[in-house]
């Protein structure tokens, strides 16, 4: 596609429920990143994929968070047993090459609200 696409745009869920957030990167982009942005803060890194594998998941806050990218394109961020503190905007980004010295492009984000 022309840009990074994230669905849904907004998600409201009850505490304790399971949610999945989808990211469709720019076509042909090898690297894919997930970030989380809380109100009034800059985005914080969660996980980074090179192709199908998670190259770095050091930013995931705990084991309730998991992400997959089974075919090296679309990625899904999965959150189990959601808590009110998980409420934030979840951003996905992609870049054309693996490695740090490559420009990243962001989607519009999914606003998750846990009630």
Partner 1 sequence: GIQVEQSPPDLILQEGANSTLRCNFSDSVNNLQWFHQNPWGQLINLFYIPSGTKQNGRLSATTVATERYSLLYISSSQTTDSGVYFCAVVGYSGGGADGLTFGKGTHLIIQP
**Cα 17–chain centre separation:** 18
Q: What mask, x for binding partner 1 by CB under 8 A, covers residues 2 to 41?
A: -----------------------------x-x-x-----x
- Among residues 45, 64, 72, 74, the one that binds partner 1 under rule CB under 8 A: 45
Residues 115 and 112: their CA atoms lie apart, in Å, by 10
Q: What mask, x for binding partner 1 by CB under 8 A, covers residues 67 to 96?
A: ----------------------x-x-x---
Single out the residue of 43, 72, 38, 80 nearest to residue 55, CA to CA.
72
- Among residues 78, 102, 113, 115, the one that binds partner 1 under rule CB under 8 A: 102
Number of residues that bind partner 1 (CB under 8 A): 29
Single out the residue of 105, 114, 89 nearest to residue 1, CA to CA.
105
Q: Which two tokens stand for residue 105?
A: 């492009």
At residue 86, φ and ψ (nearest 5 deg) are -80, -10
| 3-state DSSP percent of the chain in helix, strand and coil, to 5 | 5, 50, 50
Q: 10 or 16, CB closer to partner 1?
A: 10
Q: Which residues bind partner 1 (CB under 8 A)?
A: 31, 33, 35, 41-46, 48, 55-56, 58-59, 89, 91, 93, 98-106, 108-109, 111
């Amino acid at each position: 596609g022309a840009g990074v696409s994230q669905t849904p745009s907004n998600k409201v869920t009850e505490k304790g429920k399971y949610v999945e957030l989808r990211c469709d990167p720019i076509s042909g982009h090898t690297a894919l990143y997930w970030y989380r942005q809380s109100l009034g803060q800059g985005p914080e890194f969660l996980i980074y994929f090179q192709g199908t594998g998670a190259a770095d998941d050091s930013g995931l806050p705990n084991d309730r968070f998991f992400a997959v990218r089974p075919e090296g394109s679309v990625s899904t961020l999965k959150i189990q047993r959601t808590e009110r503190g998980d409420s934030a905007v979840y951003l996905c980004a992609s870049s054309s090459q693996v490695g740090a010295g490559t420009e990243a492009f962001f989607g519009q984000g999914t606003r998750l609200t846990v009630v």
